[in-house]
Amino acid sequence: MGDEKDIGFVARSKRRKEVLKILSRVSKMSQPEIMKISEQYKSHNSRTIKELSNKWLISCINPEDRSYKFYKITKKGKDILKETEKISNKQN
């Protein structure tokens, strides 16, 4: 039941989908690296990462480091991304 909410949450935002796609291709990545690849403003990137973290779609693997954090996609994030992509493919 909660998955539908999370699928909608990701599907509504190009930025959220993009960050999940980026993280699905690597084992970990820093916030500045994500920002560079996604070509988002720092404030947009920070907000997107915070939103995805709050939903447990991504996780910080070194939360004690205040200046250079690394993120990875969670299993839940992979599942939600997969469902979101199915919806996108049906629409195209």
Q: Dihedral (C-alpha) 71, 68, 18, 77: value to the nearest 10 degrees?
A: 20
* Cβ count within 10 A of residue 82: 12
User: What does pTM read for this prediction?
Assistant: 0.88
| pLDDT tens digits, one per residue of 46-80 | 899 999 999 999 999 999 988 889 999 999 999 99
Phi, psi of 40 (to 5 degrees): -100, 155
Cα separation of 36 and 71, whole Å? Answer: 14
The amino acid at 44: H
Domains of the chain, by residue range, sit at 2-78
- Assigned CATH class of 2-78: mainly alpha
- Which is nearest to 53 in space by CA: 8, 89, 6? 6
